[in-house]
Amino acid sequence: MTAYIFEFIGTGMLLLLGNGIVANAVLKGTKGSDSGWVGISLAWGIAVFTGVFISADISGAHLNPAVTLGLASAGKFGWSLVPGYMLAQALGAMTGTTLVWLTYKKQYDATQDQEALRATFCTSPAIRNPFWNFVTEVIGTFALVFGVFYIAGGTVSDQPISLGSLDALPVALLVMGIGFSLGGPTGYAINPARDLGPRIMHALLPLKGKGGSDWSYAWVPILGPLTGGFLAALAFLWIGG
């Protein structure tokens, strides 16, 4: 249970700081409206660093179902733990983004732009084309999970790969790099829990004039990252780990 709790805490912190920068950048009446894409990418890197540093030594700091699936597919994590990890990640994401809403409650009340409101919860594409949006998420998540294999050790053995707290910085830099280089087409979900949990909260929370939660797109930031994580595991095993 301790590992599940720290996956919950780490993912919650990831979303609190990550979606917090988006809220600061796009909501009406904040002092961070000039943050832009650079600020968003930097802050998401810091969010990853914080979440990983807190949880790495206890849960391995997956914080992402695509990472969990990738590690399990490579034989580095027990399949019996996968459902619990993914549930903890989703609940953590829901909690973290709810804290963002509480923090920016008056700014949410003042914002009438439905796309801006939804952007503080979940991702949406710059140019909507589900197939190519899916491809983008696959590639971005492949880069993330493939990198994690080597940051976390890069060997195949009987012991599961587990990120230590000292690996928080390289993982954060990797996510920051993905944001700068590959994030433009879809907003780089690269994490099913990061998108699905907050999208659920967008649907549930009493946001004024929020509009729809764009469920027709929701499969892309779920299946794209899971596919990318699985392909990264296959590539890692094929190369020889």
pLDDT at 25 over 80: yes
**81-86: average pLDDT:** 95
**What pLDDT, in 10s, does the model give residues 93-130?**
999 999 999 999 999 999 999 999 999 999 999 999 99
Is 126 in contact with 185 (CB distance < 8 Å)?
yes
The predicted structure's pLDDT at residue 24: 97
Is 125 in contact with 133 (CB distance < 8 Å)?
yes
**230-239: average pLDDT:** 94
Is 94 in contact with 192 (CB distance < 8 Å)?
no
The predicted structure's pLDDT at residue 1: 81
* Torsion angle of C-alpha atoms 66, 101, 46, 56, degrees rounded to 10: -50
**CA–CA distances in Å: residue 16 to residues 20, 148, 156:** 6, 22, 34
**33-62: average pLDDT:** 92
Cα 63 from Cα 199, distance rounded (Å): 17
Residue 40 parent element (H or E): helix 36-59
**CA–CA distances in Å: residue 141 to residues 103, 129, 156, 172:** 29, 18, 21, 14
Residues 6+ apart with CB under 8 A from 61: 6, 7, 10, 51, 52, 53, 54, 55, 163, 167, 168, 171
Q: Extract the runs of DSSP E, i.e. beta strands, from 119-233.
A: none
Residues in the chain: 241
pLDDT at 160 over 80: no
Between 47 and 160, whose confidence is greater?
47
